[in-house]
Amino acid sequence: MSDWPKVRLHVVTGKGGTGKSTVASALALALATRGKNVLLCEVEGRQGIARMFDVDPLPYQERRLTTGLPDDDGGRGVVHALHIDAESALLEYLSMYYRLGRAGKALDRFGVIEFATTIAPGVRDVLLTGKVYEAVQRNSRNKSAIEYDAVVLDAPPTGRITPFLNVSNELAGLAKVGPIKAQSDTMMTLFRSPRTAVHLVTVLEEMPVQETADGIAELRAARLPVGGVVVNQVRPRDLDADDLAAARAGTLDRARIEADLVEGGIAVSPALVDGLLAEAADHAERRALEDSQRRLVAGLDVPSYELPRMAGGIDLGGLYELAGHLREQGMA
Amino acid sequence: MTPRSSAHRPSRVGPAAAPGHHAGHLDVDALLDDLRTGIIVCCGSGGVGKTTTSAALALRAAERGRKVVVLTIDPARRLAQSMGIEELDNTPRPVKDVAGSGRLDAMMLDMKRTFDEVVLSQASPEKAQQILANPFYIALSSSFAGTQEYMAMEKLGQIHRDAQADGSYDLIVVDTPPSRSALDFLDAPERLSSFLDGRFVRLLLAPAKGPARLMTAGLSLITNALTRILGAQFLKDLQTFVTALDTVFGGFRQRAQQTYSLLKADGTAFLVIAAPEADALREAEYFVERLSEDDMPLAGLVVNRASPEPGGELSADEAMAAAQRLRRTGDGALTAGLLRLHADRVRMVERERTLRDRFATAHPQVATTVVPALAGDVHDLDGLRRVGDLLARRH
């Protein structure tokens, strides 16, 4: 049923302001069907998940967040959340893979941890993606941890996504041999496999669509698997094509609209009708622009999904509504 | 320590400041026309139209007679083309077809080249080559996290010094990278110091000298651990990098300190750019608070992409009720559609107004201007002029 049955790691990216965190959250809710455990991760220190789901700021610890969107028969899975920060990830990594004992403490004491996570470039991304990898690919070292059916990553924006996932490349010049190198290669194997999909969120405007196209090209060049394009904040479609054309041309039937308004029980004034006509013309112009951008999205040759603009803003109920749209269209 | 002026303490204002009593409209033209305004820094989260706003402000200032240079980070291709800066060569280029007596130059920041230039200017040629070839340097100077912010400020400092010397510009408009870390440059002097004075770096620099010898036992523990995890080459490269950079950092730190003072001075105006959405305004609050903490001269808030005001007085509920009645009668699909669109727009505008009011209540001293969303993207000078008009418009 889903377009992505094999995918265990859903990476959600998008240009700033397009709503990538919203889409990542809605996707997690949509994936959490009966009996499934889904993990929603964020890596940018914004605590966006906590705000969206109205819970306390998340620690570096997997927390049960909420239940998923119910199936047709009312079954629902569980969505967990994790806020990944580089420093905690490094400490966890060291204790999981190296019994460093005193040396581990010394690393912290001498500022190596801070150094590694703030100054040493690339290392930060590797630590963040490393933890994501661990959550997808649970092994015996992390005992009693939940085995997730899917992991959704609220990832850095489109402009940064390819270097972010292309960890072995980032480390290439720095760690040429040794266990870190071997591990980053293993991570790349997952990120490049059909078990990963990088979804891109856009809105139907010129710059975000262009950036999406560029992002797809970069991902493909790095042999990272491109998932779907989620077109967010789509305007309502209350007028048909003929009406839109008339609205643009300024030839909508004014007398007819006035009569309808009276019939609908509204006190008609010229100002009111002028306002409605002006709004219609403006809407028609934006819809035309949306349509031209939609054609560009269709030309990207990846599955696309559309989510409506929510006039009243997005609350928890709104997230479930968006999750419903994603499931209906086969993204989850 | 001198007490901070109360005007700089927005969030600590108590109940005495009643809601609605805020600084009101941001007078953009007064800001641009004031010859004391030498630097305008635009900051805000991604996707709020920072680059367009920076370019529009710069063009407007130029057409009002100023000698302006705009430093952009990552303009959309067509906008860059229309300004003649599609080539990333780190040098300001004149923008053609600017009206009036002023002039406008534009440039796009080349992060790596700016960094390289700093190294080249600070170190001996031999040392510089050593640094430029080091894998740590290559990663640091071309990765996005943090470096871009430093380099934007470095370039600002350079342009400002040159402009002071030869009078080439009297206004510099700076676009900042699209992230919360855009304000990292405020911490740059401190971070550079703590980097250099950090114990780990000290150890790498002088492992066997002076008091560091006392820590040698700890150091060998660390180097052994790091070698185990990362391989010996990693540590060697790191050591070379830190040693080489140590010679450059003194100058670097000093420049960062100068730029910081420059930003704090009266000639600078920070503008926080936002969109009327909860997330973007939350980021704007962060910027406002961070700037106030450092006593940075905040000129105001620009709210871009506002939904256009609906025409007429009809409320969303009335419109929806009428639309439903019309749908029931089966006729009037067009009018019902218009009413639903109207209701949608009224709701958007109301939500945006609520968000803006909340911001104004929490930060009553921040003057604001609201720019309605344009139907299409801006990619020519006429588009920038239109945005400039909207920025300067009184509400």
Kindly indicate the confidence band of residue B197, based on its pLDDT and cuts at 50, 70 and 90. Answer: low
Alpha-carbon gap: A33 to the closest alpha carbon of chain B (Å):
29
Average pLDDT over residues B370-393: 91
Per-residue confidence (pLDDT) for residue B379, from 0 to 100: 82
Asked if the C-beta of B226 comes within 8 angstroms of chain A's C-beta atoms, the answer is yes
Q: What sign for the dihedral angle of Cα B378, B382, B388, B390?
A: negative
How confident is the model over B40-75, as pLDDT tens digits? 999 988 888 888 999 999 999 999 999 999 998 877
CB contact under 8 Å between A15 and B139, yes or no, is: no
Spatial distance between the Cα atoms of B10 and B283, rounded to a whole number of angstroms: 15
Asked if the C-beta of B344 comes within 8 angstroms of chain A's C-beta atoms, the answer is yes
Kindly indicate the confidence band of residue B227, based on its pLDDT and cuts at 50, 70 and 90. Answer: confident
For A238, which of B237, B310, B340 is closest by C-beta distance?
B340
CB contact under 8 Å between B231 and A312, yes or no, is: no
Both tokens assigned to B20? 């609605």
Q: What is the 3-state secondary structure (H, E, C) of chain B?
A: CCCCCHHHCCCCCCCCCCCCCCCCECCHHHHHHCCCCCEEEEECCCCCCHHHHHHHHHHHHHHCCCEEEEEECCCCHHHHHHHCCCCCCCCCEECCCCCCCCEEEEEECCHHHHHHHHHHHHCCHHHHHHHHHCHHHHHHHHCCCCHHHHHHHHHHHHHHHHHHHHCCCCEEEEECCCCHHHHHHHHHHHHHHHHHHCHHHHHHHCCCCHHHHHHHHHHHHHHHHHHHHHCHHHHHHHHHHHHHHHHHHHHHHHHHHHHHHHHHCCCEEEEEEECCCHHHHHHHHHHHHHHHHCCCCEEEEEEEEECCCCCCCCCHHHHHHHHHHHHHHCCCHHHHHHHHHHHHHHHHHHHHHHHHHHHHHHCCCCCEEEEECCCCCCCCHHHHHHHHHHHHCCC
Per-residue confidence (pLDDT) for residue A201, from 0 to 100: 98
Both tokens assigned to A272? 């009111």
CB contact under 8 Å between A17 and B337, yes or no, is: no
For B322, which of A94, A264, A289 is closest by C-beta distance?
A264
Question: In chain A, what residues touch B312 (CB-CB under 8 Å)?
Answer: 269, 271-272, 274-276
CB contact under 8 Å between A173 and B138, yes or no, is: yes
In B288-317, the residues whose Cβ lies within 8 Å of chain A are 308, 310-314
Spatial distance between the Cα atoms of B170 and B252, rounded to a whole number of angstroms: 25
The most confident of B67-81, B109-123, B156-170, B222-236, by mean pLDDT: B156-170
Per-residue confidence (pLDDT) for residue A101, from 0 to 100: 62
Do B111 and B141 touch, CB atoms closer than 8 A?
A: yes
Q: How many CB atoms lie within 10 A of CB B101?
A: 11
Looking at chain A, the domain(s) classified CATH 3.40.50.300 span 9-237+294-328
Both tokens assigned to B258? 């100068």
Q: Comparing A106-110, B97-101, B190-194, B353-357, which segment has the lowest mean pLDDT?
A: B190-194
Do A98 and A142 touch, CB atoms closer than 8 A?
A: no
A36: left (phi over 0), alpha (psi -120 to 50) or beta: beta
CB contact under 8 Å between B351 and A174, yes or no, is: no
Q: How many CB atoms lie within 10 A of CB B88?
A: 14
Average pLDDT over residues B242-252: 71
For A174, which of B135, B226, B337 is closest by C-beta distance?
B135
- DSSP-assigned letter for residue B25: B
Question: In chain A, what residues touch B337 (CB-CB under 8 Å)?
Answer: 238-239, 243
Per-residue confidence (pLDDT) for residue A100, from 0 to 100: 64
Alpha-carbon gap: A82 to the closest alpha carbon of chain B (Å):
20
Average pLDDT over residues B34-38: 96
Question: In chain B, what residues touch A176 (CB-CB under 8 Å)?
Answer: 231, 233-234
CB contact under 8 Å between B135 and A170, yes or no, is: no
Nearest-Å Rg of the Cα atoms of chain A is 24
Alpha-carbon gap: B36 to the closest alpha carbon of chain A (Å):
34
CB contact under 8 Å between B222 and A271, yes or no, is: no
Q: Are strands A63-67 and A78-83 parallel, antiparallel or unpaired?
A: antiparallel
Strand-pairing partners, residue A64, are: A80
For B178, which of A16, A109, A239 is closest by C-beta distance?
A16
Question: In chain B, what residues touch A174 (CB-CB under 8 Å)?
Answer: 135-136, 139, 230, 234, 237
Question: In chain B, what residues touch A214 (CB-CB under 8 Å)?
Answer: none
Per-residue confidence (pLDDT) for residue B82, from 0 to 100: 79
pLDDT, chain B, mean? 82
Separation of first and last alpha carbons in chain A: 8
Average pLDDT over residues B279-298: 91
- Tell which wins on pLDDT, B284 or B256: B284
Per-residue confidence (pLDDT) for residue A229, from 0 to 100: 98
Spatial distance between the Cα atoms of A305 and A228, rounded to a whole number of angstroms: 7
Question: In chain A, what residues touch B334 (CB-CB under 8 Å)?
Answer: 239, 243, 252-253, 256-257, 260
Q: Which residues of chain A have pLDDT under 50?
A: none
For B329, which of A206, A239, A263 is closest by C-beta distance?
A263
- Tell which wins on pLDDT, B185 or B29: B29
Query: Best mutation site among A110, A180, A237 for testing chain B: the one with the most B CBs within 10 Å?
Result: A110
How confident is the model over B205-221, as pLDDT tens digits? 665 444 444 455 666 77
Per-residue confidence (pLDDT) for residue A274, from 0 to 100: 93
Per-residue confidence (pLDDT) for residue B334, from 0 to 100: 93
CB contact under 8 Å between A16 and B47, yes or no, is: yes
Separation of first and last alpha carbons in chain B: 40
Q: Which CATH number does B23-185+248-310+356-392 carry?
A: 3.40.50.300
Per-residue confidence (pLDDT) for residue B7, from 0 to 100: 42
Beta strand spans in A30-111 (E): 37-42, 63-67, 78-83
* CATH superfamily, with its number, for domain A9-237+294-328: P-loop containing nucleotide triphosphate hydrolases (3.40.50.300)
Tokens 């965190």 correspond to A21
Residue type, B292: S
Nearest-Å Rg of the Cα atoms of chain B is 26
Kind and range of the H or E element at B325?
Answer: helix B316-329
Question: In chain B, what residues touch A248 (CB-CB under 8 Å)?
Answer: none
Q: Is the pLDDT of residue B14 over 50?
A: no
Q: Is the pLDDT of residue B17 over 50?
A: no
Do B175 and B73 touch, CB atoms closer than 8 A?
A: yes
Please tell me which residue of chain A has the smallest CA distance to B313.
Answer: A272
Kind and range of the H or E element at A102?
Answer: helix A102-109
Per-residue confidence (pLDDT) for residue A99, from 0 to 100: 66
Kindly indicate the confidence band of residue B78, based on its pLDDT and cuts at 50, 70 and 90. Answer: confident
Spatial CA neighbour of B63 closest among B394, B395, B392: B392
Per-residue confidence (pLDDT) for residue B10, from 0 to 100: 42
Do A41 and A154 touch, CB atoms closer than 8 A?
A: yes
Domain residue spans of chain B: 23-185+248-310+356-392
